[in-house]
Amino acid sequence: MKILFFAPHSAIWVHAFPEALVAEALKQGGHEIVYVTCGRKLQRYCVAMSAYRVAPAAPDMNKLQICDLCDARKQIIREQFGFKGCDMSELITSEDECHVEEIVAGITRDSLTTFELNGLAIGQLALYQFMLLRKRINMDLSVQEWGECLNEFRNALYAFYAAKKLMDQERPDRVVVYNGLYSVNRVCCKLAEQRGVPHYFMHAGGNLSNRLQTLLLGRGDTFQYMPHCVETYAKFTQVPCTGRLLKLVTDHYLELLRGRSHFVYSSRKSTGLFDTRARFGVRPAQKLLLVTMGSYDEEVAAEMVGARHLLAPPLFPTQIEWIRALLGFVKTRSDLFL
């Protein structure tokens, strides 16, 4: 079986090295590996730069330092693991460049999200990182934000032309990426999907106590994978957990309370006592209701690239409407405190 690893973010070593280990295991199992990297094609701005906290408006010198790191690590992987393959920059011709720049020059704020190429919604697929980085829930953008948006769009177009040639030339049986939601990766996966080629994603594990020591590998992306896990759970409800598994669960929750990972999205557990009732003036007879809210950016970004689909319409159109309804309900209940 020929397996295409589309891996344009070698600078992120905690992604690239585990990905290479999986590719190596498959190679040792008799499969043919095609390992494709960036080659500075995404040098205006990319996921790796964001991971190293280089801002979109940073000097070119800062961005090129990430490109240097990416090239160096790509070379280590190619030499040490012996993978054949090429860079995106080798696949994209000057004619392709002209097509990309013509498309970018003609795109507008109104036409971006409806732009398609060969039946792929490239305009929408391009927006995943941008929506997350800028915490956007709409396309009301500043001049600077629009420039950043166009760069993501350009990268998605590069990914399209490169991946299309890969599909034509290599005809892979499977496609693997690290994170199936990153825009350039998703373009490649969607092209594979059009041709009936199954695509898989990798991601660090979900347990915060050892997330970089474990790896998720599944079909599609995390928004497809997680609901499948929930559906599968029914098959295992009667299987008792081992002591080792229980420890892993405990370690995860302890790590949540420590608040050390940026994936906790909260401060650490307080070391002192906190009297909630005294602080907010809650009467002893009142029941205390805690409302937990969420950020829209992950949902909007996932919906934008077609990864998240609501099985049923939400009870309230927005969180604000939900809070208003809760306030109206609690006003009529003197035994409750919100």
Q: Quick one: tokens of 134?
A: 């800028």
- Measured CA distances, 88 to 36, 40, 122, 208 (Å): 7, 8, 17, 33
Q: Please report the pLDDT score of residue 88 as a whole number.
A: 97
- Measured CA distances, 312 to 69, 229, 306, 316 (Å): 45, 19, 16, 12
Compute the C-alpha angle 199/202/205, nearest 5°: 145
CA proximity to 218, closest of 10, 22, 1, 9: 22
Q: Please report the pLDDT score of residue 269 as a whole number.
A: 80
Domain spans, the chain: 2-204, 275-337
Q: Quick one: tokens of 166?
A: 């890969």
CA proximity to 107, closest of 138, 152, 144: 152
Provide φ and ψ at 301, rounded to 5°: -60, -45
Alpha-carbon span 337 to 41, nearest angstrom: 56
**What are the per-10-residue average pLDDT scores of the chain (338 residues)?**
98 97 97 98 96 95 98 97 96 96 95 94 92 80 92 97 97 97 96 97 94 93 87 91 95 92 82 87 94 80 77 84 95 95
Residues 6+ apart with CB under 8 A from 333: none
Q: Do 305 and 221 touch, CB atoms closer than 8 A? A: no
Name the β-bridge partners of 203.
Answer: 216
Q: Quick one: tokens of 46?
A: 């990319």
Q: Do 187 and 156 touch, CB atoms closer than 8 A? A: yes
Residues 6+ apart with CB under 8 A from 138: none
Alpha-carbon span 174 to 220, nearest angstrom: 11
Tell me whether strands 215-219 and 199-204 are parallel, antiparallel or unpaired.
Answer: antiparallel
Residues 6+ apart with CB under 8 A from 141: 109, 149
Give me the amino acid identity at 36: V
Angle of helix 143-170 versus helix 183-194 axis, rounded to 10: 40
CATH topology of domain 2-204: Rossmann fold (3.40.50)
* Residue bearing tokens 């909630």: 276
Compute the C-alpha angle 133/136/139, nearest 5°: 125
Residues 6+ apart with CB under 8 A from 267: 259
Q: Please report the pLDDT score of residue 176 as a whole number.
A: 98
Q: Please report the pLDDT score of residue 114 as a whole number.
A: 93
E strands along the chain, which residues? 2-6, 32-36, 174-178, 199-204, 215-219, 287-288, 336-337
Q: Please report the pLDDT score of residue 185 as a whole number.
A: 97
Q: Quick one: tokens of 328?
A: 């109206």
Q: Please report the pLDDT score of residue 160 as a whole number.
A: 98
Within 10 Å of residue 33's Cβ, how many Cβ atoms? 22
